[in-house]
A and B are shown apart, each in its own frame.
Chain A
Amino acid sequence: MFRLIKERLKEGLKPEKIEIKDENIEILGNELKDIIDKYFNGSFTIREVDSGSCNACEYEISALSNPYYDVERFGIKFVASPKHADAILITGCLTRNMYEAVMKAYENVPHPKFVIAVGDCTLDGGVFKGSYGIMDGINGKIPVDVWIKGCPPEPIDIISGILKLLKSKI
């Protein structure tokens, strides 16, 4: 056991030596952190809702928490309940089957709230536009504060989208 701990401590320092800080993220992130510290007391909470995406957007949003981006250090936190959230982040083309659940999640975010739409199909259904199974995106159904385009948008685009939102609304 002791040998294991020793080995882990010795080897455990390794990953820190890797250059994992990206300049763009640092610049955007620090701006973001200043705003979040000033207006949100250090924490800006987001509830992520998938309304019918292909899961690539989810892949990129969960990448925001990996050591390269680590958005939590700027004060951005993904929360489990919409009632705890400052903003709701919606991906996907809004399917008919998800409509009610998405609306309920939106209504349960307390005012004042922001809506962040991520991905091309959130706007008008994208490649799935016109299908019987979907509602052609959330445009016109939920007031959107910022659109983050891309299929899927890269993590850096999502961070700059959130920064754009906060700069324009505050």
Chain B
Amino acid sequence: MIEEVLSPIKDYIKGYRFNQNNQLVLEVSDFNLANVSSYLFRDLDCDLVTVVATDDRFTEDECFTLRYIYSYPKKNLFFIIENKVKSEFNSLSNNIPALNWYEREIKDMFGLIPLNHPDPRPLVLFPENFPSNVHPLRKDFNVSDRPNFKNYGKYEYKSVEGEGVFNILVGPIHASIIEPGHFRFSLAGEHILQLEIRHFWKHRGIEKLAEGKKPEDVIDLVSKISGDHTVAHTLAYLQAIENLSNTKIPLKAKYIRVLFLELERLMCNINDVAWLFQDVAYSFGAQGMFILKEELMRLNKTLSRNRFNKNVLTIGGVNLDIDKEKVGSIIDKLSYITEKYFFYKNILLSSASILDRFETTGRIKYETVKDLSCVGYIARSSNRHSDMRKQHPFLIYDKLAFSSQTFEEGDCFARLMCRFADIEDSISIIKEILSDLPDGEIYTQPNPVVPNSWTIGYSEGQRGSTVHFVKVDKDGNIDRLKVRDPSFNNWQAIQFAVLGDIVADFPLVNKSLNLSYAGNDL
């Protein structure tokens, strides 16, 4: 099967091997990289999952390693192209736009130069307060090194010129209670000609902080990557660690993990829907949905003593058991939520004036989603399927029945409908696993991790696939942690979504995408 898939590019690859069960590593020299990547991305229609650089200069390799990770759902495979580089590499962003931010990130964090990059400006480290010779993820950079605080340079924004063209600058601090990010609109009249986004205001250095620590000491850090997706991120990280240590968690722990992942998805989707209702002035429904969100957070608190279910998961299983009493309280709450949810949804769907705000607003084309490798509901509402639960099933998702629907239009309405479909999916999944909850252990003693190994762990958060690349050193400590929040792949899509819309629609478009700044900025 592998030979068949790889036969068109067999002349370009030096060899291949399996890293872990479904991770196929292709060894490719820099010269053939473009051909192989193009074949995977364009011909096989793979999605770009992430690009990971590691600093291996102080090992026997004596160079940097770049790993381009592609997902190939048809065969439940991950292709990982390995490329060893010294100081510069060929940029592939012109053919694969999804690589754009990754290559700029690698340039900032490792000081490797992407040759012929279409947009070589700094991304993560602002020239206003980081000198250009600082590259935090290099091994010879100490995590607590703080360069002098002064102005080192200036960031060049794109400009739009012409008669009557003007700019509106927003942020980094926004008017309402949301996270910081900078948006620049260029307009002629009311219509948006261009939107330029600038992020990474919240860059906290999470990936560097993890280095050198024991795997179990990083869980707390990982749970705070993006507060509303704490279960998804923790789960992705734990699956990587359990892969590395070949730990098989008990069946009941798998069920409980799915339960908390779906509770988180349900809470986030209800919150998103509430804000979408609010932004189209359907306040009655919005406040109703906020009540449901609060009810879910209170349910979380009764289950795990934390409103976000932090600290529920651990290496080798879960920290808390779900007994009969808890099952009852979840079922009761769910039936209450289901009833209310359909009530508000049906009113919305029968009101033409509300629907008019959603329809045709913020349209993202299928081609854009494909080129940027968008994930989650953004991809699914533009008719491209993206769901790790179906494409690369983990835990017990291959045994569960759920629809994971796609929608064609790609506008705000499609994204709203996608949220509705996800809410209904989550409710049915939770009911299914609670009716079928097995008995038994919830924790198993994990094995030690295999030294000098690496793998990827993933989960499907509410915003889309959440992927963690973990590499451990000879002592079993974290050597490199690369976090790919779904927002990192999705943020660039907003620049295309608003084109031709009016500024007054931007809050709605932004809410319909509802991306994480913290997860993106790391």
Contacts and interface: CB of A to CB of B under 8 A. Distances in A.
Interface of A: 4, 8, 11-12, 14-15, 18, 20, 48-50, 52-63, 65-68, 78, 80-81, 92-93, 95-102, 105, 126-128, 130-134, 151-152, 154
22 contacts: A4-B350, A48-B177, A53-B202, A54-B225, A54-B518, A55-B226, A55-B227, A56-B228, A56-B230, A58-B179, A59-B228, A66-B287, A66-B293, A67-B290, A96-B146, A97-B126, A98-B180, A102-B173, A131-B205, A132-B134, A132-B141, A133-B208
Q: For A81, A132, A154, which residue has the most chain B Cβ atoms within 10 angstroms?
A: A132
A97 B371 CA distance: 29
Contacts of A130: 143-144, 209
Given A101-B180, A152-B227, A96 B208 contact: no
A108 B177 CA distance: 18
A53 B225 CA distance: 9
Contacts of A49: 173
Q: Chain B binding site: helix, strand, loop or mixed by DSSP? A: loop
Given A54-B224, A61-B177, A66-B291, A95 B136 contact: no
Question: Range of interface residues on chain B?
Answer: 35 or more
- 4 closest Cβ contacts across the A-B interface? A56-B227, A133-B205, A80-B175, A131-B205
Contacts of A105: 173
B105 to A, nearest CB: 14
Contact of A54 (B129, B149, B226): B226
Contacts of A53: 179, 202, 227, 518
Contact of A66 (B149, B203, B294): B294
B200 interface: yes
B201 A97 contact: yes
B59 interface: no
A154 B226 contact: no
B383 to A, nearest CB: 29
B209 A55 contact: no
A63 B296 CA distance: 12
Interface in B130-151: 130, 134, 136, 141, 143-146, 149
B34 interface: no
B411 to A, nearest CB: 24
Contacts of A63: 290, 293-294, 297
Contacts of A97: 126, 129, 200-203
Nearest to A78: B177
Contact of B202 (A52, A68, A126): A52
